[in-house]
Structure 1
Amino acid sequence: MSRDYGQYCGLARALDVIGDRWNLLIVRQLLLGPARYGDLREALSGIATNLLAGRLRDLEAAGVIERRLSEGGNAITYALTPWGAELREPINGLIRWSTPLMIRGPEDDAFRPEWMLLALEALFTGRVPVGQTAAVNVSVADDCIQLRATPTGIDVGLPDGRDVDAVLSAEAAIVLGLAAGVLTIDAIAPAVAMDGDIAALRAIFEAPRAMAGLAMRPSI
């Protein structure tokens, strides 16, 4: 890398690799799946073309990402290496830590529904529904995410055609507040659209945390 902190410390050396501006957001995009250069440029509005190219070169040289041929073999895509993919856990931790900063809403910031997918994966990690399986669709900005409660946890993904028990349509900040445990179904009922079995929504959004390290976020 072009510069480093010069400290024999795990955090310092990690920041030597991923601490530059935009690096973790590039990793965030690639956690969603391999992407072409143009896809990254579109998702990271505000980054200069030459800066993105430089960041990709640096991350590739460090072993965080790699270039691959697309499935059709007609384009180059960027993907996380197995080592780079291990950044999912610390990124999930940062997403959970950011809850007090997110509840106030997007304000003038850009928002892409795909980012909600990663946020919900992070916020539902370690949450295990008690005594009920359920499935709901969550609609945010005309995009839909599916949440399925299972005996071992809550699966987060895109709708797959299977039936769901309920549908929640709400603004991103409200969905994040519910998932973080700082809002309740009863509190947000007047401000959202809920169709179907409300008990299914409760089973998912009020599922307790089963891991000691994932305490409830502070309310604001």
Structure 2
Amino acid sequence: MKSYGQFCGLARSLDTVGDRWNLLIVRQLLIGPARYGDLRAGLPGLATNLLADRLRDLESAGVVRREVATEGNAVAYALTEWGAELREPIEALIRWSTPLMVEGPRTDHFDPGWLHVALPALLRERAPGRRTVTIGLAVDGAPLLLRFSRSGPTVEAADGRAVDATVRTSAHVLLGLAAGALTLADAQAWGAVEVEGDLDAVREVLAGAA
């Protein structure tokens, strides 16, 4: 791997994860361990040979490890304990990106699975008044669960459990609400959000900026 040749924590961090695609591979593995094919599917535009190279580099650096997949004998990739510590700087970059996201997706690809990392990053500092709030999300038609407890927010696959409310919207609007760049009242007034169920529960976590 290329090196900046500087005895600086930032430079050495970038030596390890600063190459193109590396942090997006880490983003995918923050969602959970993944097989090679799953990583390719979650990283559109990344050539298979480059993915193999990046995984090899990250594994050599101690960021990624291989393990046996939960189903079958296939190999899955997972973050090491040290690699998982990248969640904090990645979440900070997601929060920092808010002004860059305002213009919307344009022609960029969007995968609802990326919300597993983005929503907790944007909602981490919010604390609902009740013990646990579970919101069903239909984001561009994809079903997810946003669960907010005292330990913080998580995004999970929809599994049919009871929810306090269901929110139907687009990724652009949902991320704007989570970032506090858009108010729930305005989004509803524009017809950009539909809420079924306990509106107060949705307000507790997605009220947006005052």
Q: TM-score if structure 1 supplies the norm length? A: 0.87
Q: For 1:1-220, what aligned pairs fall within 5 Å after superposition? A: 2-130=1-129, 133-151=132-150, 153-189=152-188, 190-206=191-207
Greater Cα offset, 140-149 or 116-125? 140-149
CA RMSD of aligned residues (A): 2.0
Secondary structure at 1:84's aligned position in 2?
Answer: helix
- Correspondence for 1:212: none
Secondary structure at 1:114's aligned position in 2?
Answer: helix
Tell me if structure 2 keeps the 8 A contact 1:117–1:145.
Answer: no
Sort the Cα spacing of 1:131 and 1:29 in 2 relative to 1 into closer, same or farther, 3 A: closer
Distance 1:153 1:67 in 2: 29
| Letter of the structure 1 residue corresponding to residue 192 of structure 2 | A
| Letter of the structure 2 residue corresponding to residue 25 of structure 1 | L
Q: 4+ runs of 1 displaced by more than 4 Å?
A: none
Tell me if structure 2 keeps the 8 A contact 1:133–1:150.
Answer: yes
Greater Cα offset, 132-141 or 161-170? 132-141
Tell me if structure 2 keeps the 8 A contact 1:103–1:174.
Answer: no
Q: TM-score if structure 2 supplies the norm length? A: 0.91
Q: Deviations over 1:13-49 (max 9, x none)?
A: 0000000001001111111111111111222121122
Tell me if structure 2 keeps the 8 A contact 1:129–1:153.
Answer: no
Distance 1:161 1:81 in 2: 31
Deviation at 1:3, TM superposition (A): 1.4
Tell me if structure 2 keeps the 8 A contact 1:147–1:204.
Answer: no
Deviation at 1:151, TM superposition (A): 4.4
Q: Percent identity?
A: 55
Tell me if structure 2 keeps the 8 A contact 1:64–1:84.
Answer: yes
Deviation at 1:163, TM superposition (A): 1.5
Tell me if structure 2 keeps the 8 A contact 1:129–1:154.
Answer: no
Distance 2:118 2:154 in 1: 13
Secondary structure at 2:67's aligned position in 1?
Answer: strand
Aligned residues: 208
Tell me if structure 2 keeps the 8 A contact 1:64–1:83.
Answer: yes
Q: Which ranges in structure 2 are unaligned for 5 or more consecutive residues?
A: none
Q: Which ranges in structure 1 are unaligned for 5 or more consecutive residues?
A: 208-215
